[in-house]
Amino acid sequence: MTDFVHETGGSIGPWIRSIRRTCGVVALGVAAAALASPPDANAARNSCPVKKTRVKIALKEDPGRVKVNRRHSQAQLTAMMRKKSKIRSSREMLNNGLTRTKYGTNMGFELQYAELKSGKVCAALRTVDATFGYAEITVFIARKYKKGSCQYRTVLQHENTHVAIHRKYLTKYADRMRRRLTTTANKAGVIFAPSVRQAKETFRKRLEKAIDQMTEEFSRELDAANARIDTPENYRRENKRCPSW
């Protein structure tokens, strides 16, 4: 079985004058909020010294490190799976293994802006740097199975297949997310806002929306791919590899 956990955290870094940089962790599921242009936006646009240029996007993949945990019983692993996973087992079935992942996107961006005589600011994105990947990959194996036993090896092989699926789709979606961020960032253009902070928030929310949409698609495909190996038929084939369980 596989259990997906979405986890994000972090803080927005301080801003300085001129070229501004903000860093933090994207909180998944935040809705976009566009900042309305002031009434004199068209006139102000002509005098804004910040020009729209192509935004540089850098997105890295983090495949994560796998840890094996053998401290839980079958009953405990079953309870963990039923609490977190979208894949449900029958009441009679006990889990011998479980894979838990925590994934998300860390993002930072550079913003160039100018303060206008009206007191407002005009701003544009300059660069976006992000990392998409796994903060945790933990493979749980029921403690009743000794390391190196037939049962241990069989469970580990099954859970390692889940790990391979997670990494396969990470690579697939990292490329998609890179393209989505490129499109979103370059469509943002030059914006006008009452303050630098509000300009920053507008860009941040637009980028978060794009990442959130891609992460939802990523999660759905992961669910489907993992479900294809978590079937009664596959469990029966794997169970035949060992004389007893």
pLDDT at 236 (0 to 100): 94
Give the ranges where the chain is alpha helix by DSSP (H).
41-47, 74-84, 150-188, 196-227, 232-239
The whole-number pLDDT of residue 42 equals: 52
Torsional class of 44: left (φ above 0), alpha (ψ -120 to 50), beta (otherwise): alpha
Q: What are phi and psi of 209, to 5 degrees?
A: -60, -45
CA nearest 171: which of 7, 77, 40, 61? 61
Give, for all 245 residues of the chain, the pLDDT tens digit.
Answer: 433 342 222 222 222 222 333 333 332 222 223 333 445 555 544 489 998 899 999 999 999 999 999 999 999 999 998 876 554 444 456 899 999 999 999 999 999 999 999 899 999 999 999 999 999 999 999 999 999 999 999 999 999 999 999 999 999 999 999 999 999 999 999 999 999 999 999 999 999 999 999 999 999 999 999 999 999 999 999 999 999 99
d(CA 184, CA 189): 9
Contact assessment for residue 239 and residue 245, using Cβ atoms and an 8 Å cutoff:
yes
Specify the pLDDT at position 84.
Answer: 65
Could you tell me if 84 and 3 are in contact, meaning their C-beta atoms sit under 8 angstroms apart?
yes
Domain range list for the chain? 2-239
Let me know: does 142 contact 74? Beta carbons within 8 Å.
yes
**pLDDT in the model for residue 47:** 80
What pLDDT, on the 0 to 100 scale, is given for residue 43?
A: 55
For the chain, first and last CA: distance in Å?
17
pLDDT of residue 186: 97
Q: What is the pLDDT of residue 82?
A: 85
**DSSP 8-state class, residue 195:** S
Q: Tokens in use for 202?
A: 């507008």
**Whole-number pLDDT of residue 147:** 96
